[in-house]
Protein backbone atom coordinates (compact mmCIF):
# COMPACT_ATOMS: atom_id res chain seq x y z
CA UNK A 1 0.00 0.00 0.00
CA UNK A 2 1.38 3.42 -0.99
CA UNK A 3 1.16 6.12 1.70
CA UNK A 4 -0.34 9.28 0.24
CA UNK A 5 1.43 12.64 0.44
CA UNK A 6 -0.05 16.14 0.38
CA UNK A 7 0.19 18.42 -2.65
CA UNK A 8 2.73 20.59 -0.81
CA UNK A 9 4.85 17.55 0.03
CA UNK A 10 4.61 16.47 -3.62
CA UNK A 11 5.96 19.89 -4.65
CA UNK A 12 8.84 19.57 -2.21
CA UNK A 13 9.62 16.07 -3.44
CA UNK A 14 9.51 17.15 -7.09
CA UNK A 15 11.80 20.10 -6.37
CA UNK A 16 14.34 17.85 -4.63
CA UNK A 17 14.25 15.30 -7.46
CA UNK A 18 14.73 18.02 -10.11
CA UNK A 19 17.70 19.53 -8.28
CA UNK A 20 19.37 16.14 -7.87
CA UNK A 21 18.92 15.40 -11.58
CA UNK A 22 20.25 18.85 -12.52
CA UNK A 23 23.10 19.28 -10.03
CA UNK A 24 23.96 15.71 -9.04
CA UNK A 25 23.39 16.56 -5.38
CA UNK A 26 20.46 17.31 -3.12
CA UNK A 27 19.40 20.88 -2.31
CA UNK A 28 19.76 22.34 1.17
CA UNK A 29 16.72 23.18 3.24
CA UNK A 30 17.39 26.86 2.52
CA UNK A 31 17.43 26.23 -1.23
CA UNK A 32 14.15 24.34 -1.06
CA UNK A 33 12.58 27.23 0.84
CA UNK A 34 13.84 29.78 -1.69
CA UNK A 35 12.72 27.70 -4.65
CA UNK A 36 9.21 27.06 -3.32
CA UNK A 37 8.58 30.30 -1.46
CA UNK A 38 8.60 28.76 2.01
CA UNK A 39 9.71 31.57 4.31
CA UNK A 40 11.19 29.59 7.21
CA UNK A 41 13.61 26.67 7.24
CA UNK A 42 11.55 25.11 10.01
CA UNK A 43 8.61 24.91 7.59
CA UNK A 44 10.77 23.17 4.98
CA UNK A 45 12.09 20.77 7.60
CA UNK A 46 8.54 19.88 8.64
CA UNK A 47 7.68 18.84 5.07
CA UNK A 48 10.96 16.94 4.64
CA UNK A 49 10.48 15.08 7.93
CA UNK A 50 6.95 14.15 6.88
CA UNK A 51 8.26 12.79 3.58
CA UNK A 52 10.90 10.84 5.50
CA UNK A 53 8.26 9.35 7.79
CA UNK A 54 6.28 8.31 4.71
CA UNK A 55 9.29 6.52 3.23
CA UNK A 56 9.89 8.87 0.29
CA UNK A 57 13.33 10.14 1.35
CA UNK A 58 15.94 9.92 4.09
CA UNK A 59 18.18 12.47 5.80
CA UNK A 60 21.81 11.57 6.55
CA UNK A 61 22.90 12.92 9.92
CA UNK A 62 25.88 15.25 9.95
CA UNK A 63 25.81 16.16 6.25
CA UNK A 64 25.03 19.60 4.84
CA UNK A 65 23.23 18.24 1.77
CA UNK A 66 21.70 15.37 3.67
CA UNK A 67 18.60 14.46 1.67
CA UNK A 68 18.55 11.14 -0.20
CA UNK A 69 15.60 9.98 -2.27
CA UNK A 70 14.14 6.54 -1.71
CA UNK A 71 13.35 4.69 -4.92
CA UNK A 72 9.61 4.48 -5.36
CA UNK A 73 8.03 1.01 -5.48
CA UNK A 74 7.86 -0.46 -8.95
CA UNK A 75 5.16 -3.03 -9.79
CA UNK A 76 7.79 -4.88 -11.84
CA UNK A 77 10.08 -5.33 -8.80
CA UNK A 78 8.82 -8.86 -8.16
CA UNK A 79 10.15 -9.93 -11.56
CA UNK A 80 13.41 -7.97 -11.57
CA UNK A 81 16.46 -7.48 -9.41
CA UNK A 82 19.40 -5.10 -9.11
CA UNK A 83 22.89 -6.58 -9.52
CA UNK A 84 26.20 -4.81 -8.90
CA UNK A 85 28.67 -4.83 -11.80
CA UNK A 86 32.19 -5.42 -10.50
CA UNK A 87 35.00 -3.32 -11.96
CA UNK A 88 38.75 -3.73 -11.60
CA UNK A 89 39.75 -6.72 -9.50
CA UNK A 90 42.49 -6.15 -6.96
CA UNK A 91 45.22 -8.77 -6.47
CA UNK A 92 44.70 -11.19 -3.62
CA UNK A 93 41.26 -9.89 -2.64
CA UNK A 94 37.86 -11.55 -2.96
CA UNK A 95 36.18 -10.79 -6.25
CA UNK A 96 33.17 -9.04 -4.77
CA UNK A 97 33.75 -5.81 -2.88
CA UNK A 98 31.48 -2.80 -2.50
CA UNK A 99 34.49 -0.59 -3.27
CA UNK A 100 34.77 -2.10 -6.77
CA UNK A 101 31.13 -1.75 -7.83
CA UNK A 102 31.07 0.29 -11.04
CA UNK A 103 27.28 0.51 -11.21
CA UNK A 104 24.14 -1.54 -10.71
CA UNK A 105 21.90 -2.99 -13.40
CA UNK A 106 18.22 -3.91 -13.10
CA UNK A 107 17.61 -7.22 -14.83
CA UNK A 108 14.96 -9.90 -15.13
CA UNK A 109 15.14 -12.72 -12.58
CA UNK A 110 14.11 -15.20 -15.28
CA UNK A 111 17.54 -14.90 -16.97
CA UNK A 112 19.36 -16.86 -14.28
CA UNK A 113 19.52 -20.50 -13.32
CA UNK A 114 20.89 -19.74 -9.84
CA UNK A 115 20.35 -16.69 -7.64
CA UNK A 116 23.11 -14.29 -8.77
CA UNK A 117 24.97 -11.97 -6.40
CA UNK A 118 26.90 -9.81 -8.87
CA UNK A 119 28.03 -9.40 -12.47
CA UNK A 120 31.53 -9.42 -13.97
CA UNK A 121 32.58 -8.60 -17.53
CA UNK A 122 34.14 -11.38 -19.59
CA UNK A 123 37.48 -10.64 -21.25
CA UNK A 124 38.50 -13.12 -23.96
CA UNK A 125 36.92 -16.03 -25.84
CA UNK A 126 38.18 -19.05 -23.91
CA UNK A 127 34.59 -20.15 -23.16
CA UNK A 128 33.12 -19.30 -26.54
CA UNK A 129 31.76 -22.79 -27.18
CA UNK A 130 29.91 -22.57 -23.85
CA UNK A 131 28.15 -19.51 -25.27
CA UNK A 132 30.16 -17.13 -23.07
CA UNK A 133 31.64 -14.44 -25.30
CA UNK A 134 34.09 -11.59 -24.90
CA UNK A 135 32.25 -8.58 -23.46
CA UNK A 136 29.39 -10.58 -21.93
CA UNK A 137 28.35 -9.87 -18.35
CA UNK A 138 28.48 -13.11 -16.38
CA UNK A 139 26.27 -13.44 -13.32
CA UNK A 140 27.99 -15.11 -10.36
CA UNK A 141 26.35 -16.95 -7.48
CA UNK A 142 28.85 -16.33 -4.69
CA UNK A 143 30.07 -19.51 -2.99
CA UNK A 144 33.50 -20.99 -2.17
CA UNK A 145 32.33 -24.51 -3.05
CA UNK A 146 31.87 -26.19 -6.43
CA UNK A 147 31.57 -29.69 -7.85
CA UNK A 148 33.39 -31.36 -10.70
CA UNK A 149 31.96 -30.24 -14.03
CA UNK A 150 30.45 -26.94 -12.90
CA UNK A 151 31.35 -23.64 -14.57
CA UNK A 152 32.97 -21.47 -11.93
CA UNK A 153 34.37 -18.02 -11.34
CA UNK A 154 37.83 -18.56 -9.89
CA UNK A 155 40.83 -16.54 -8.75
CA UNK A 156 44.23 -17.99 -9.62
CA UNK A 157 47.57 -16.77 -8.32
CA UNK A 158 45.93 -14.00 -6.34
CA UNK A 159 45.47 -11.60 -9.24
CA UNK A 160 43.96 -13.53 -12.14
CA UNK A 161 40.22 -13.95 -12.44
CA UNK A 162 38.76 -16.46 -14.87
CA UNK A 163 35.53 -18.24 -15.88
CA UNK A 164 36.19 -21.94 -16.59
CA UNK A 165 34.72 -25.41 -16.14
CA UNK A 166 36.04 -27.07 -13.00
CA UNK A 167 37.73 -30.47 -13.39
CA UNK A 168 38.53 -32.39 -10.21
CA UNK A 169 40.27 -35.75 -10.44
CA UNK A 170 42.63 -37.44 -8.01
CA UNK A 171 43.08 -34.26 -6.03
CA UNK A 172 44.22 -32.36 -9.13
CA UNK A 173 42.39 -29.13 -9.96
CA UNK A 174 42.13 -28.07 -13.58
CA UNK A 175 40.20 -25.17 -15.05
CA UNK A 176 39.00 -26.17 -18.47
CA UNK A 177 38.34 -23.74 -21.35
CA UNK A 178 35.90 -24.56 -24.12
CA UNK A 179 37.23 -22.95 -27.26
CA UNK A 180 39.92 -24.02 -29.76
CA UNK A 181 43.41 -22.73 -29.08
CA UNK A 182 43.07 -22.36 -25.30
CA UNK A 183 44.83 -24.63 -22.83
CA UNK A 184 43.59 -25.81 -19.43
CA UNK A 185 44.88 -24.07 -16.33
CA UNK A 186 46.53 -26.54 -13.96
CA UNK A 187 46.22 -25.09 -10.48
CA UNK A 188 49.46 -25.20 -8.49
CA UNK A 189 48.55 -26.31 -4.94
CA UNK A 190 51.13 -23.86 -3.56
CA UNK A 191 49.64 -20.79 -5.22
CA UNK A 192 46.75 -18.62 -4.11
CA UNK A 193 43.57 -20.14 -5.55
CA UNK A 194 39.92 -19.68 -4.66
CA UNK A 195 36.51 -20.53 -6.05
CA UNK A 196 34.61 -17.23 -5.99
CA UNK A 197 31.29 -18.56 -7.23
CA UNK A 198 29.22 -20.49 -9.74
CA UNK A 199 28.13 -19.37 -13.20
CA UNK A 200 24.48 -18.32 -12.85
CA UNK A 201 23.73 -16.95 -16.33
CA UNK A 202 24.77 -14.02 -18.48
CA UNK A 203 23.80 -10.80 -20.21
CA UNK A 204 24.94 -10.53 -23.78
CA UNK A 205 27.52 -7.80 -24.37
CA UNK A 206 26.88 -5.16 -27.01
In whole angstroms, give the CA distance from residue 108 to residue 101.
20
User: Distance (Å, rounded) from C-alpha 14 to C-alpha 155?
Assistant: 46
Cα–Cα dist 109/34, whole Å: 44
For residue 58, what are the β-bridge partners?
68
Distance separating alpha carbons of residues 177 and 134, to the nearest angstrom: 13
122-132 residue pLDDT tens: 888 899 999 99
Asked if residue 77 belongs to a domain, the reply is: no
| One domain, residues 52 and 88 | no
The predicted structure's pLDDT at residue 117: 86
Residues 60 and 98 in one domain: no
Question: Residue 90's pLDDT band (boundaries 50, 70, 90)?
Answer: very low
Pair 48, 91 in one domain: no
List the catalytic residue out of 164, 169, 179, 206: 164
Residues 55 and 121 in one domain: no
Q: Is 74 among the domain residues?
A: no
Listed in sequence order, the DSSP H helices in 29-188 are 29-36, 41-53
Give a yes or no: residue 2 inside a domain.
no
Co-location of 137 and 35 in the same domain: no
Write down the pLDDT at residue 91.
Answer: 42
pLDDT the model gives residue 3: 63
Q: Which position among 46, 126, 169, 179 bears the catalytic label?
A: 126
Does the active-site annotation cover 126? yes
Query: In terms of domains, do 100 and 169 share one?
Result: yes
Chain centroid to Cα 64, Å, comes to: 27
Domain containing 22 equals 7-69
4: pLDDT strictly greater than 80: no
Claim to verify: residue 110 and residue 179 sit in the same structural domain: yes
Domain count, the chain: 2
Amino acid sequence: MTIQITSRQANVLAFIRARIERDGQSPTLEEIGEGLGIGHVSGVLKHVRSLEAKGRLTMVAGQHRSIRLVREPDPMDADTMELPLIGRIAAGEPLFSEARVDRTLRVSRSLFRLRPDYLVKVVGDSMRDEGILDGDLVAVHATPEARHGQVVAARVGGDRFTIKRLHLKGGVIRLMPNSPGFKPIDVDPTEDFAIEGLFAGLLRGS
